[in-house]
Structure formats: C-alpha cells, structure tokens
Structure 1
Amino acid sequence: MSSINALAEGIAAPGRPTGKGSIRIRQVAHRYGRGEDALTAVGPIDLDVPPGEFLVLVGASGCGKSTLLRLIAGFETATQGSIEVSGTAPAPGRTAGMVFQQPRLFPWKTVGGNVDLALKYAGVRRDQRAVRRGELLHRVGLGETAHRRIWEISGGQQQRVAIARALAAEHSLLLLDEPFAALDALTRERLQDDLRRVGTESGRTAVFVTHSADEAVFLGSRIVVLTKRPGRIALDLPVDLPRSGVDADELRAAPEFAALRREVGLAVKAAAT
C-alpha cells in the first residue's frame, strides 16, 4: 500500500454508470453556427459517470470543457448524440445545481436571503427554510453570516454562498464551471479544501471544470483531459487518492499527488498541440 493510501482506510470505489446522479454520454458533439461558418466545439465524446463520482474536466482554453458542462446541465442541446442524467434527458434548473465562475448572487439580498430564494425554488416549505438554510451555510463554513449583505463579505465567501445555493435543491448532480478561477491563490486553496469535504459529505455526483492540473488532482476522483477544439477525450484517469481521513496539506505534499499532477499536466500540454 502506498504511503498516502495508508493514511486512510478506503478509497471511493467506482460505481455503476446507472442510477441517481449517473451521467451517460453517447457520441455527443456540439457545433455553433451553420454551413461554412460552423464551428465544432466538442466531440464526439462517449463517457459514463457513475453516481457519487467527482469528475474533473481539464484542458486548455477553448477545448470545449464549459460547452460539455452546459450540455450536461441542459442549457444547450447537443448537435449530435445523446446525454442522460439519472436516466433522463437533462433539463435546465432541474437536472443539477450549478456554480459559475462568478457567484451571480442577488446583491440586494442578505446571504441568508440568497439561500432562502434557492430553497423556495427548490420547493422547500417556508417553515422549514430557516433550519435548512442554517445547515447549508454551516456546511460551507458561513454559519454566522446569514444576516450580512453580499457586499459585506469577501469574494471567496460569496463563492461559498453560491455553492450553498447550488446545494439547496436536492439534485443528485453538482456542476461547477471554474468557480475559483477569479480568486487569489490562498482563498482558492481554502475553497478547494472545503469543496472536497462538502463533496465527500454530500455524496453527490460532481463535474468540475478547471485549467489547473493541481486543482484537478486535489478535487477529482477521476480526471478527463480534453484535446484542443473540437474537444475529445485525451486521457481518462482515475485518481487513487483517499477522499477522507487525511490532512489536505499532507495530501498535497505526497509523492503520489505530485506524480499525478505531473501526468495530468503533461497530458494537458500534449492535448493542446
């Protein structure tokens, strides 16, 4: 057993690509425009994601990562092929909770008010929202900030609110499109720690888009590297690192972590040429 795996009793076992939170992608490609001006952004791609997996999509700018995420969310319909989430076609707002690069919060509402609105749209009864709001804010480390205005909290805290809002609905799938890209390095690392913990605790399937090999290895239980446009799968790599029971700094310092980071980094560079 490797030194880092010895720090935890178990590794998340791969699940079957069926059931609640599963994603099934078959021969999916997506084009923008028509005729001679048509641009194929991604595909064709075949991919199965089992329930509970934390999948990270990584690649150079313009390789189709965000396009694929929007297709999974149901914000766009694939030009070719099919996508199923939990056995059905994706539908905007119903398939998954979504976290964007910018928090997209309502500045005239408090932190708690933003979460309450998400709970309202999720169908949570008014008399149950305060308890649920408290649980969500505590989960993302903002238990004492419900009364504060959005402009009174930092950018990192705002992104935590966005994550809490995405978790408000009982979706089995969480989609995150470079949510930490605009943050400073220290805040980004802290939120990576938090998201890794939240993902493990919630048990939800997650798909996370990033440019960073380091972020991909730290967060993912599986990493898919996409080629340059049109994005296709260049590498599909399981991450054999413990998901719990190990200190984050210790994990980042482990030789197994460094080896995976190097492998992903080299794959991204090769796929971009």
Structure 2
Amino acid sequence: MSSSPSADQAVAIDGVEHRYGAVTAVGPVSLHVPAGAFLVLVGASGCGKSTLLRLIAGFERPTTGTVRTGGRIPEPGRGAGLVFQQPRLLPWKTVGGNVELALRYAGVPPKERAARVPQLLERVGLHDVAERRVWQISGGQQQRVAIARALAVPNPLLLLDEPFAALDALTRERLQEDLRQVTAETGRTCVFVTHSVDEAVFLGSRVVVLTSRPGRVALDQDIDLPRTGVEPDELRGLPQYAELRATIGHAVRSSQEVAA
C-alpha cells in the first residue's frame, strides 16, 4: 500500500495533477514506491497510466504536486531504463550492437562492454543471436533486446509502457515469465503499465487501478504471491491468484462505470 515518503522510496508521487490545456489527465494522485517493488498501473485507455509513467521518467513535469525518483526530480534519459510498446531498436545495427550502444552511452569502457553484451543477451535468452540484424529476428525477440538494452544501464528503476501489447499470446506469456524472473534476480524497482488484469497480477508485487480520466487511485492492492520458486502455471493455479484477479478486475470495471 502507499506509504509515507522516506529515504528508501524509489518513486515518490505527492499530490500530482497533470493537465493538457483545460483537460485534467491525472490526479490528484499520491503514490510511494519502495525500492525493489514491482508496481503495475492498470486501467482503461485514457485513464492516465502512460502520463504517470512519463512524469516518473521526467519527460513531462506535473502541473501541480511533485514527482521524485531516488529523492530527486527526474530528468529524461537519466535514472531509469525505459521499455516502450515498440522496441525502438536501430535496424542498421546488430542485436549486440544495440545493447552495446546503450552501454557506450552509459560510459562503460570498451573492454567491459565486450564482456557485458553477451551477459545481458544471455539474461534475456538471446545468447545465440548477437550478430543478427534486428530485422532478422522476431517481434518477441526484438522486445527482449529492448529489455536487455534497458537493463544494460545500471539504473535502479525500470519503466515499462505496455511492452508486450503488440505480441501474440504465447510470446507475451513467455516474456512475462522472463521479465518476472529477471527483475526478481536483479532487484530493480519496476513501474509497469498494462490494460491486462492477468498480466498485472502475474507481474506485480503491487497493483494500482486508476479510474477513467482524470486518473485517480481506485484500488491500491498488494500482491502477496511468491516471486521465486514457483512455476508460472502453478502460480496461476493458486486460489489467491484467482481471488486477486477477481478483486482487481472488479475494481477496473467499477472505476469505468463510475466515470460513465
């Protein structure tokens, strides 16, 4: 649940409203995310999920209130790794070259870059495609490259804006499993945007449901499910999993009905 601000908060959103002209997209919202948490924002289209993510990334400034990451006002391209709906890779570079470029921008020395690229690709299950061009691999593999690139920079915060939305169901489930494992291993704080209730419950250690515009907190739910040592099918078969899906699904539907 949301807690009072403290030094260990990876993300602190306090009294935030954000407007585009006369339209209020978000707010007021206050959320405090401790280090190592996996926060999922879920809600209908237009509820302000992506707006909140842009505020956390520093791409926009709130109209009122404050956003801090690691105790500081966020700046674009600093302090957070970003994964979008589309991979946004450089097609003229190889898979390894795209990851190497992220390391170069982070100031990693050449010898260290050469060692870390295969490690990062191995982490996302792409150890055998480093020399291929981006257009030679599948959409799911491209999204894995985007995740590897985000993990390349040692930022403690990872922001993901519906990264699996355009993928087929089987690829989406596989990447959900990969992301869950990688974030559990690295301990990075994540903020993940989705429309999917099942995806929210599967990935999150905490789920926040936003109302329709203006986006406000309709439900702030801790997900008390094991993060490691449980197979995905076993996890989805737990009674608690079904209960959480029902609770969050009801909150999403109710928030839309109230707005209507």
Taking structure 1 as the reference length, what is the TM-score of the superposition?
Answer: 0.91
Percent of residue pairs bearing the same amino acid type: 67
Q: Among residues 111, 114, 122, which one is paired with 1:127 in the alignment? A: 111
Secondary structure, counterpart of 1:272 in structure 2: helix
Instruction: Count the aligned residue pairs.
Output: 256
Sort the Cα spacing of 1:21 and 1:119 in 2 relative to 1 into closer, same or farther, 3 A: farther
Matched, 1:71 2:71: no
Q: Among residues 160, 164, 167, which one is paired with 2:148 in the alignment? A: 164
Q: Contact conserved, 2:96 with 2:117, CA < 8 A, in 1? A: yes
Q: Which residue of 1 aligns with 2:227?
A: 243
Unaligned 5+ runs, structure 1: 1-13
Distance in 2 separating the partners of 1:148 and 1:15: 46
Q: Contact conserved, 2:9 with 2:32, CA < 8 A, in 1? A: no
Sort the Cα spacing of 1:18 and 1:168 in 2 relative to 1 into closer, same or farther, 3 A: farther
Taking structure 2 as the reference length, what is the TM-score of the superposition?
Answer: 0.96
Distance in 2 separating the partners of 1:247 and 1:54: 19
Distance in 1 separating the partners of 2:229 and 2:6: 28
Shift of 1:239: 0.2
Q: Which residue of 1 aligns with 2:10?
A: 22
Q: Among residues 183, 196, 201, which one is paired with 2:167 in the alignment? A: 183
Shift of 1:17: 5.3
Q: What do the CA deviations read for 1:205-238 (whole angstroms, capped 9, x no partner)?
A: 0000000000000000000000000000000000
Distance in 1 separating the partners of 2:125 and 2:6: 32
Q: What do the CA deviations read for 1:173-217 (whole angstroms, capped 9, x no partner)?
A: 000000000000000000000000011011000000000000000
Secondary structure, counterpart of 1:57 in structure 2: strand
Matched, 1:219 2:226: no
Shift of 1:137: 0.6
Secondary structure, counterpart of 1:236 in structure 2: strand
Which aligned runs of 4 or more in structure 1 are off by greater than 6 angstroms?
Answer: none
The residue identity in structure 2 corresponding to 1:24 is A
Matched, 1:255 2:239: yes
Q: Among residues 3, 11, 20, which one is paired with 1:32 in the alignment? A: 20
Q: Which residue of 1 aligns with 2:213?
A: 229
Q: Contact conserved, 2:3 with 2:31, CA < 8 A, in 1? A: no
The residue identity in structure 1 corresponding to 2:175 is L
Secondary structure, counterpart of 2:229 in structure 1: coil
Provide the alpha-carbon RMSD of the alignment.
1.4
